[in-house]
Chain A
């Protein structure tokens, strides 16, 4: 079943087309990787899909319901969660409270939320930091916190904006494993933006390549990386295989 349908969405900022007529669909339980050079419009695309920005044109459908331009909290309630590339913790709250708030926002009662949140915290491997003030976490911790909060809202689709960036290779593997279990055991559909090609190759069922706001190509991971246009777009950008 098609869970997420994005149909020719566009967005301009003062004449600059950040996202230009982008369409794609995501099947339930699949993983879509989105790649593209810096400034390709990936984060803007996420903002359009998750409701942080209204698209100028086009539509977004989640499980058959039109959510184009809906407020972010409505989209969240409809079953879509996201993480932010620039981490946005609730700085004054502890890690556990951060996740508990997310549970409550998804409807859990004040009493049950902490226990349920604790499970999520354990699951993403933040147990050690559970009672730490979140704004003091190191980058790796904040990335996991983003993930934990998004998971706490028990989404059907999870949009991940560079959850691996800023992690050292040793830290990446457990996160990738976690993402795989999310799909396998929880049946969560994943859409993720990532620079680290190894992760894209390993996780994605299919890949969407953006360049200058447009879809350059899409398809199976291996086809896409062979595509000369993709190689050209990335030329001089950064190595196609290793992360920064």
Chain B
């Protein structure tokens, strides 16, 4: 049997967690990206902002489902709450979206904890847990559609202001401020994630994910740890929702709570690497433009493929194929694969 050999190999030293290095990397990333909007044309800039929104969404998902090991298929609920709470406060009460963002985080975090409590209380796991989270997100969507309180299916438009305003997070179209705000929010989300993972609470989260019984036996309150993780995850994701509305100026129940949002929370993390700090960011950077790339390639195909031009649906076919391939070939995600590779190198072993 090779099992022993594999074990020996796997027991190769793990690098000590390098929180400091991660934080430095975040800082470097921020500094490198700050001038980006000055060189990017407007359309690409809006793709860049979209990438950052996806990244925040996925960073949030990753906290709960990656590091916490509780697979959520309903992050649309928290995204949507972040969007709706802030836009409701803005439109109905004239309250700044910055405050709305904070309120949205609290509401989404609390709702996430409530769902988590129910699902965990009834010991749901794996696919069942995922389907329960999905059901709650759908219920929010259906309730919003038929609720006068939030304008039913019509949703909300963000009122245009005559003057750009930091207080109301509204600037001229194509303003670099949007990118910078999104970047800042992403950086904060990353830093919060890193600090959380480094903290006692974060260590507990990972321990509980790896083995609940052992964690409990060592004195870690399992339920509380999970709920804190879930609430943090919901709060981070809600920020993406708040920013989304301020950037796209419009939200309705499908945009906010539709299951495509839940999928968009999972996609970047899986593509980039689940349960890694950088996975969601890398995944978002790959996926965000992928749609546009496939569309562009097919809009102006190389001469040999000219016959494909204008075939509706083809861009999505290509996108779907790439998606399947990436997930199949890089099950650990882009970052996960690179990390494993580096670690193996470091261990002085070449892959078999």
Touch test A–B (CB under 8 Å): yes
For residues 207 through 243 of chain B, which have their beta carbon under 8 Å from a beta carbon of chain A? 207, 209-211, 213-222
A93-B206, A133-B14 given as contacts; is B7 within 8 A of A138 (CB)? yes
Residues of A within 8 A of B209 (CB): 92
With A52-B217, A81-B217, A84-B217 in contact, is A89–B211 under 8 Å at CB? yes
Question: Is A89 touching B218 in the complex (CB atoms < 8 A)?
Answer: no
Q: Are B13 and A132 in contact (CB under 8 A)?
A: yes
Cβ of A101 under 8 Å from chain B: yes
A89 lies within 8 A of B214 (CB): yes
Least Cβ–Cβ distance between A114 and chain B, in angstroms: 9
Contact status B219-A105, CB under 8 Å: yes
Contact A105 B218 (CB under 8 A): yes
Looking at B213, B214, B222, the one whose CB has the most chain A CB atoms below 10 A away is B214
Do the beta carbons of A91 and B216 come within 8 Å of each other?
no
How near does chain A come to B224, taking the closest CB pair, in angstroms? 9
Which of B204, B215, B217, B222 is close to A82, meaning CB atoms less than 8 Å apart?
A: B217
A91 to chain B, nearest CB (A): 5
Residues in A69-99 with C-beta less than 8 Å from chain B:
71-73, 76-77, 81-82, 84, 88-94, 97-98
Q: How far is the CB of B232 from chain A (nearest CB, A)?
A: 17
Q: A71-B221, A73-B216 are in contact. Are A136 and B10 (CB under 8 A)?
A: yes
B12 at the A/B interface (Cβ < 8 Å)?
A: yes
Q: Known contacts being A88-B211, A90-B210, A136-B11, is A72 close to B203, with CB within 8 Å?
A: no
A110 neighbours in B (Cβ, 8 Å): 198-200, 203
Query: A133 contacts which of B11, B217, B275 (Cβ < 8 Å)?
Result: B11
Given A52-B217, A71-B221, A110-B200, also A101-B11 (CB < 8 A): no
Most buried by A among B11, B210, B218: B218
* Nearest CB of chain A from residue B69's CB, rounded to whole Å: 10
Contact of B8 with A76 in the complex, beta carbons under 8 Å? no
Cβ–Cβ contact B218 & A93, under 8 A: no
Interface size of A by CB at 8 A reads 42
Query: Contacts A89-B211, A90-B211, A106-B218 known; A131 to B14 CB distance under 8 Å?
Result: yes
Decide yes or no: A101 and B207 within 8 Å by CB, A84-B213, A153-B219 being known contacts: yes
> A84 to nearest B CB, angstroms?
6
Q: Verify A76–B218 contact, CB threshold 8 A.
A: yes
On whether the beta carbons of B219 and A106 are closer than 8 Å, the reply is yes
B residues less than 8 Å from A133 (CB atoms) = 10-14
List chain B residues, Cβ under 8 A from A93: 14, 206-207, 210
User: Which chain B residue has the least Cβ–Cβ distance from A108?
Assistant: B200
A51 — which chain B residues lie within 8 A by C-beta?
Answer: 216
CB-CB under 8 A from B13, the residues of chain A are: 94, 131-133
In the complex, residue of chain A having the shortest beta-carbon distance to the beta carbon of B6: A136
Q: Is the CB of B204 within 8 A of A104?
A: yes
Our pick among B4, B199, B220 for the contact of A138 (Cβ within 8 Å) is B4
A92 close to B7 (CB less than 8 A): no
A156-199 contacts to B (CB < 8 Å)? none
- Residue B16 at the A interface, CB < 8 A? yes
Within 8 A of B (CB), among A121-164: 129, 131-133, 135-138, 141, 149-150, 152-153
- Asked whether any CB of chain A lies closer than 8 Å to the CB of B33, the reply is no
Q: Does B17 belong to the interface (CB within 8 Å)?
A: yes
Any chain A CB within 8 A of the CB of B323?
A: no
Return chain B residues, CB-CB under 8 Å to A138.
4, 7-8, 11
Instruction: Indicate the member of A73, A84, A88, A110 with the most B CB atoms within 10 Å.
Output: A73
If A73-B219, A88-B211, A104-B200 touch, whether A132 touches B7 (CB-CB below 8 Å) is no
> Closest B-chain residue to A103, C-beta based?
B218
Inter-chain CA distance A97–B10, complex, in Å, is 16
Task: Report chain A residues within 8 Å CB of B14.
Answer: 93-94, 131-133
Q: Does A208 contact B (CB under 8 A)?
A: no
CA gap between A89 and B7 in the complex, in Å: 14
A109 to B198, alpha carbons, bound, how many Å?
Answer: 12
Note all chain B residues with C-beta closer than 8 A to A88: 211, 213-214
Would you call B9 an interface residue if the criterion is a C-beta within 8 Å of the partner chain's C-beta atoms?
Answer: yes
Closest to A109 in B: B200
Nearest CB on B from A96, distance (A) = 8
Q: Write the nearest CB–CB distance from A11 to chain B, whole angstroms.
A: 17
Q: In the assembled complex, which residues on chain B have CB atoms less than 8 Å from the CB atom of A200?
A: none
Instruction: Decide: B9 and A136 in contact? CB cutoff 8 A.
Output: yes
Whether A209 sits at the interface, judged by CB under 8 Å, is: no
Interface residues of B in 270-304 (CB under 8 A from A): 275
**Do the beta carbons of A101 and B211 come within 8 Å of each other?**
no
CB neighbours (8 Å) of A94 from chain B are 13-14, 16
A100 at interface, CB cutoff 8 A: yes
Minimum C-beta distance from B322 to chain A (A): 29
**Closest 5 pairs (CB-CB, A-B):** A136-B10, A136-B11, A76-B219, A88-B214, A90-B210
- What are 22 A-B contacts with C-beta separation under 8 Å? A52-B217, A72-B213, A73-B219, A73-B222, A81-B217, A81-B218, A82-B217, A93-B206, A98-B207, A100-B203, A101-B207, A104-B200, A104-B204, A106-B218, A110-B203, A129-B11, A132-B12, A136-B8, A136-B10, A136-B11, A137-B7, A138-B4
Given contacts A97-B203, A137-B11, 10 further A-B contacts (CB under 8 A): A50-B217, A52-B213, A52-B217, A76-B217, A89-B214, A101-B206, A104-B203, A105-B220, A131-B14, A138-B4
